[in-house]
Every structure is written in structure tokens, then in C-alpha cells.
Structure 1
């Protein structure tokens, strides 16, 4: 569902928080952003979102809550299933994997499991416009990192995803 900015501004606190949670599943981020309304324009919303995300990421639990809202890129069965339904926003964001060879999808699935085992959360990447091979290359490049570095990397990618989802929510992407 697409909203206008004025509609988002006019929603109750609970309804606005609920809509914002479709963009990022960090409840602190969504509540902080809902509290910051009204927004004059999309740039004001995105700036407030960035600020709310900076605040939310000071607590690892908020990061993990946001990361939990994502499908795992590279789960072969779920990827193939998602691409049958191009309406799904996460599938659209991961559409670069749509034409991937099974070997690349299998390597993504294995790399994702290795990442999850090492860091305790799934691999988060702004997948829009990236091929499955590019996502695999990014995953393999980030696997040697330490957990602290990966929390920062994943938080940065999460913010890119959130900004795109906010624009989509407002029909502006």
C-alpha cells in the first residue's frame, strides 16, 4: 500500500508505527520516526529516518531486531519461491539473483549459513541492482571481518534498504 506524506503525517501514533515497521523492523526506529512527524517533505522524512537509525544502532538489540525482518539471501528454495512472486518487496530488492545459476545460489546459501554461524545474524546487503554473483562476492569479502565490523556494515546496508522502502511506502521510488 502506498501512502502520501500527508496521510503518513495524519496517522495515529500506533498506525504510523505499524506502517513504518514495514520499512524497518526496529521498533525503536519506527517509534522514534513516528514521534518526529509531521514531515514537510520526503527529504525531511529521510533525514529523520537517518537520525532515528543512528540512535537505534547504539543498542545491538535494535540492530538485531531490524536484521530479523529480512529474508536470508541465498536460501535456494526460498529465493526460487520468492522470485515466483515479484510483488514481494524483498524479492524485488533481491531480483539480481533471479537469473543466477544454481551453483551461485548454492554458494550464496552456503556463504549465508557460514555468515550466520560466524556472526549470529544474517548477511544484510542492499541488493537492489546487484546480481547474485555480486552479492556472493560481497558476502565472501565480508566473511573474514570481525563481528563488530559486520554489525557496522550490516547497519549501513540496513539504512540503505530502509530509505528505499520508505520511498516505496510513499510511492516515491
Structure 2
């Protein structure tokens, strides 16, 4: 569903909140953002979104609520489906790459489970435009972090995801 910013500004508060929760499942973020309507333009909305997210981060429960809105990448079959187009777009790929891709996908599934076991929340990353190998590299680079560092990393990635979803929702992306 795409709306104009003007349409969004005129929604009932409950409807606007419900719509925002499709972009980020933090109730504190959505409620705070709705309270700042009307927005003059998409940049004004994004600035208020960033500020609302900054406030929401003061409570770990708000972050976990937002992270829970993402599916866990842990099923090998769903990972193969997600990254199937990546191998098609790589013209230089050789015939043996399919086996390597399966290995990457299996490693990504295992890494996601290891991450969840260590931190208690799923691996959050702005995935747009990233291959399975890039995702695995990011996951492996972040898994040695301590809880506080990784919570901050995941929160920053969540904000990038939310900003893109808002832009798509309002036809600005």
C-alpha cells in the first residue's frame, strides 16, 4: 500500500500507527512518530523518524520489539530462494559456484542461529543489494561483538531498514 504524505498526515492516529508498524514494529517509535504529524515533506518525516528511533533505543525492550518484526534467516530453503537471483546475475560465475553458494547459504543459516543463541535476538542488517556472501561476511564480523555493541549495531541497521520502508510506503523510493 502506497500513500501520499498528505494522505498519511490525514489518517486517524490509530490507522497511522498501524501503518507505521508495517515499517518498524516498535510501538514506542510508531506512537512517537504519529504524534509529530503533519509532516511537511519526506525529509521532515525521516528526521522525526530518526529522532523517534533515538528515543526508542533508550529501552532495550523497544529494540527487541522492533527486531521481532523481522523473520529469522535460518531456513536453508528460504535462504536459497532469497539469494537465487544473485547467482543468476553473476555472469562470471563458474559451474562449481552452485556448490559454493549452497555452502554459503548453509553457513549463513548456522551463523544466524549462533547469533540468536549468543545475543538473544536475530541478526539485523540492511540487506538491500547484498549477496549471501556479503551477508555472511557481515554476520561473521559482528558475531564476536559484546551484547551492548551488537545491540547498537542492530539498532542502526534497523533504522536504515525503517527509513527505506517509510520511503517506499510514501512513494519516495
Q: How high is the TM-score relative to the length of structure 2?
A: 0.89
Larger Rg: 2
Aligned partners of 2:113, 2:64: CA distance in 1, in Å?
A: 16
**Map of 1:53-68 to 2, 5 A cutoff?**
53-68=53-68
Matched residue, 1:22: 22
Asked whether the equivalents of residues 80 and 102 of structure 2 are also in contact (C-alpha less than 8 Å), the reply is no
Matched residue, 1:33: 33
Aligned partners of 1:169, 1:58: CA distance in 2, in Å?
A: 26
Aligned partners of 1:109, 1:52: CA distance in 2, in Å?
A: 32
Residue 136 to residue 74, structure 1, CA distance change in 2 (3 Å)? farther
Q: Deviations over 1:62-108 (max 9, x none)?
A: 00000000112353233345x4xxxxxxxxxxx68753821111100
Asked whether the equivalents of residues 124 and 154 of structure 1 are also in contact (C-alpha less than 8 Å), the reply is yes
The root-mean-square deviation of aligned C-alpha atoms, in Å, is 1.6
Q: How high is the TM-score relative to the length of structure 1?
A: 0.89
**Map of 1:79-158 to 2, 5 A cutoff?**
79-80=79-80, 83=82, 98-99=86-87, 101-158=101-158
Matched residue, 1:90: none
Gaps of 5+ in 2: 88-97
Aligned partners of 2:67, 2:85: CA distance in 1, in Å?
A: 20
Asked whether the equivalents of residues 32 and 52 of structure 2 are also in contact (C-alpha less than 8 Å), the reply is yes
- The ranges of structure 1 where at least 4 consecutive aligned residues each deviate by more than 4 angstroms after the TM superposition are 95-98
Gaps of 5+ in 1: 84-94
Q: Deviations over 1:35-54 (max 9, x none)?
A: 11000000000000000000
Aligned partners of 2:150, 2:136: CA distance in 1, in Å?
A: 16
Aligned partners of 2:80, 2:144: CA distance in 1, in Å?
A: 28
Aligned partners of 2:80, 2:62: CA distance in 1, in Å?
A: 30
Q: Which has the higher contact order (CA 8 A, sep 6+)?
A: 2
